[in-house]
Amino acid sequence: MTPRPRSPRLGVAALVVVVVAALAVGSRGEAGPATPAARADRLAARVRCPTCAGLSAAESEAASSQAVRQEIRARVDAGASDDAILGYLVDRYGEDILLTPPSTGTGSLVWVLPVVALVLAGGALAAAFRRWRAAGAEAATDDDRALVARAREG
Amino acid sequence: MTATTAVPAPARRPRTARWSALAVGLVAVALVAILATRPDARNVIAETTLRGRPAPEVVGPGLDGATVRLSDYRGRWVLVNFFATWCVPCVQEHPELVRFSQRHAPEEAQVVAVVYDDDLGAVRAFFRERGGDWPVVDSPSAKVDFGVRGVPESFLLTPEGIVVDRIVGGVTADGLDGFLAQAQAALG
């Protein structure tokens, strides 16, 4: 008994379900930090070292990074929200103090553009597949058949 | 028939060494030229989010243990100077700050130094040795409040305590005079 051929639509549907599930899980982010120290560390990891290049304030031992870490910890202990703490640092150092671009304003383009590009590419591929399928396979002409016959004889 | 012996041609000295020496020489000359003609790294005005806004308050112990408060110096132009004794450009700019202070303090303009990651004992010895009679305050949170990225950094404040300029990488007395005159003219 030969297995029944599966519909390609089933595969596409399964792929869509996996992608949507992955995006849903990814967009939920990590669970909240367990302690104020862990929360301060996580915030410091989102902030650029003010003095050195390529390091976060959590990784760097520069005096400026230590000061940023102390400030973050003091504000965490004072009950400030993550947005308020990061907003304060942006207010003092400028937008470039953040390692992660903001999800609002022009910075949000960094997040939005890849998704838009992905959707457009997917749409273009789907349209191309449909066009190729509609075109169908080319039928062999009499000349083609004669060529094959000569080749077999010869 | 006479036998002839071939005289070996004199060996040509390899030119690689000569070209290498020439290249190294050219690089050295280029480096010297670049270093000699680069602009002065002092008196550099830098961006700050605080420009045009009230300066953050700075409060902390001074060199004699008494509390120093930046807002106590309202009513005169103030140069808030972040410095450390371990910072070479800070050591280099110190005589310039002394000169600026002698020209303007205390009526017209006042220097207020903020210790940046340093020991107050070392700072006391530094001022004893190199002069300077302006107030010094130790306030670890001030560097974040002002968005200081490194030392030396200075902020020029109006008599109302508004930030006018952020100067990075050291100052000279003449440079500060220029910034002060410019700010005074802008204020009318």
- Per-residue pLDDT tens over the stretch A13-67: 888 788 777 777 666 655 677 899 999 999 999 999 999 888 999 999 999 999 9
Out of B49, B145, B150, closest to residue A64 by CB: B150
- The number of domains in chain B is 1
Q: What is the pLDDT of residue A20?
A: 77
Q: What is the pLDDT of residue A89?
A: 98
Residue B4 counted as domain residue: no
What is the extent of the structural domain holding B164?
44-187
Helices (H), chain B: 16-37, 88-104, 120-130, 142-145, 173-187
β-pairing, B77-83 with B67-69? unpaired
Residue B19: is it exposed, middle or buried by C-beta count within 10 angstroms (0-12/13-18/19+)? Answer: exposed
User: How many inter-chain contacts (A to B, CB under 8 Å) are there?
Assistant: 41
- Per-residue pLDDT tens over the stretch A54-104: 899 999 999 999 999 999 999 999 999 999 999 999 999 999 999 987 666
Contacts of A63 in chain B (CB under 8 A): 116-117, 143
Specify the CATH number for the domain of residue B172.
Answer: 3.40.30.10
Residue B88 counted as domain residue: yes
Q: What is the pLDDT of residue A26?
A: 63
Tell me the DSSP string of B22-57.
Answer: HHHHHHHHHHHHHHHHSPPSSSEEE--TTTTSBPPP
Let me know the angle formed at the C-alpha of B152 by B151 and B154, rounded to the nearest 5 degrees.
120
Closest CA–CA distance from residue A14 to any residue of chain B (Å): 50
Closest CA–CA distance from residue B16 to any residue of chain A (Å): 39
Contact B127, B89 (CB under 8 A): no
ipTM entry: 0.77
Q: What is the pLDDT of residue B171?
A: 97
Contacts of A67 in chain B (CB under 8 A): 117, 140-141, 143-144
Closest CA–CA distance from residue B151 to any residue of chain A (Å): 10
β-pairing, B44-46 with B136-137? unpaired
Out of A64, A74, A94, closest to residue B49 by CB: A94
Out of A63, A74, A91, closest to residue B117 by CB: A63
Fold category of A32-101 in CATH: Helicase, Ruva Protein; domain 3 (1.10.8)
From first to last of its 188 residues, chain B has per-residue pLDDT tens of 445 555 566 666 668 888 888 999 999 888 888 777 666 789 999 999 999 999 999 999 999 999 999 999 999 999 999 999 999 999 999 999 999 999 998 899 999 999 999 999 999 999 999 999 999 999 999 999 999 999 999 999 999 999 999 999 999 999 999 999 999 999 88
Contacts of B49 in chain A (CB under 8 A): 90-94
Out of A66, A74, A93, closest to residue B147 by CB: A93
Q: What is the pLDDT of residue A102?
A: 64
